[in-house]
Amino acid sequence: MKVVVTGARGMLGEDVVEVLQKKHELIPVDITGSPAVELDVTVPQSVLSLFKAERPDMVVHTAGWRDVDGCEENQERALLINTLGAKNVALACRLYDAAMIHISTDYVYSGGGKRAVTEFCPTDPVNFYGYSKLKAEGEITALLGEFFILRLPFLFGRGGRKENNPLQQTVSLLQKGEKVEATTDQICSPTHTLDVARVIERMMETELYGIYNVSSSGEASRYDLYWELATLCGLDTRLLIPVKSVIKKARRSHYTVFNALAYERTFKAGPGHWREALRECVERIKAG
């Protein structure tokens, strides 16, 4: 298949490219270009020109702005990148007959309850980032029939910009002996970007289109995750300071563990436990 991957230099995009390039002809694109092709998804003419020239069968749209506080402060930018960007890609898919895989978020749910959320639970975005991603879902479902929307929780991975990579940042601070505050009251199933890429690879081989909650199994707070990370890296766990979340700019979900009812019934196998996934990710980071 000929596949465009947007956001190809991001944390998730890098792993999508790594996994898919073994079987498919890829066109990696990102706003900053080389080694990806330069493409700003907020400019419809640029997106349409790329599709006209390349005629892809499929697009994996990972490009987005995931700075949650930034989205709250600059709502127009959030709508441009997360909503209009996705709409532009969906329109190009419609005009040039390609299927779309779109990356959404658990922040489309309120995360205020104590029960695991299924794909069919009401959406009620907890913050503007979640709102901009939910509006993107609406644009895609209005324009396309052949789409997969993956709602994902907190992601960890090896790649993307180092300054935006939560594991790389935490390890670097702990290595310098600096304290790291980590919240104990935001619970989800943290998921490895490599596992998401593997799910995407499997989905692409089917026509089982729809909206799916995808995550590792198990549940953890950021504190649990970073404690495990520090242990795996032989770093001092006493530098991790457990804190309750305080609202700085954007609100956060407190509980978005998934009951992936639709995903599990449809695709049977999913990512394993987050602890195993973290171990694999740390091994990849150590390997460089």
Ligand X SMILES: NC(=O)c1ccc[n+]([C@@H]2O[C@H](COP(=O)([O-])OP(=O)(O)OC[C@H]3O[C@@H](n4cnc5c(N)ncnc54)[C@H](OP(=O)(O)O)[C@@H]3O)[C@@H](O)[C@H]2O)c1
Q: Does 143 bind ligand X (CB under 6 A)?
A: no
164 in contact with ligand X (CB under 6 A): yes
DSSP character at residue 122: P
Q: Is 120 exposed, middle or buried (CB count within 10 Å of its CB: 0-12, 13-18, 19+)?
A: exposed
Distance from C-alpha of 144 to C-alpha of 149, rounded to nearest angstrom: 11
Under the binding rule (CB under 6 A), the answer on residue 105 touching ligand X is: yes
Judged by beta carbon, residue 164 or residue 236, the one nearer ligand X is 164
> Is residue 42 a contact point for ligand X (CB under 6 A)?
yes
Distance CA 20, CA 25 (A): 8
Nearest of 276, 107, 282 to residue 188 by alpha carbon: 107
Question: Which amino acid belongs to residue 63?
Answer: A
Q: Which of residues 51, 109, 128, 154 is near ligand X by CB under 6 A?
A: 154
Q: 162 or 176: whose CB is closer to ligand X? A: 162
Q: Does 158 bind ligand X (CB under 6 A)?
A: no
Residue choice 3, 4, 5, 12 for contact with ligand X (CB under 6 A): 12
Residue 31 found at the interface with ligand X (CB under 6 A): yes
DSSP-assigned states of every residue in 157-197: -S-S-GGG-HHHHHHHHHHTT--EEEESS-BB--EEHHHHH
Per CB under 6 A, does 65 bind ligand X?
yes
Q: Of 112-120, 150-158, 227-235, 280-288, which segment contacts ligand X by CB under 6 A?
A: 150-158
For ligand X, the binding residue among 81, 182, 229, 230 (CB under 6 A) is: 81
Residue pair 88/149 in contact by the 8 Å Cβ criterion: no
For position 155 contacting ligand X by CB under 6 A, the verdict is yes
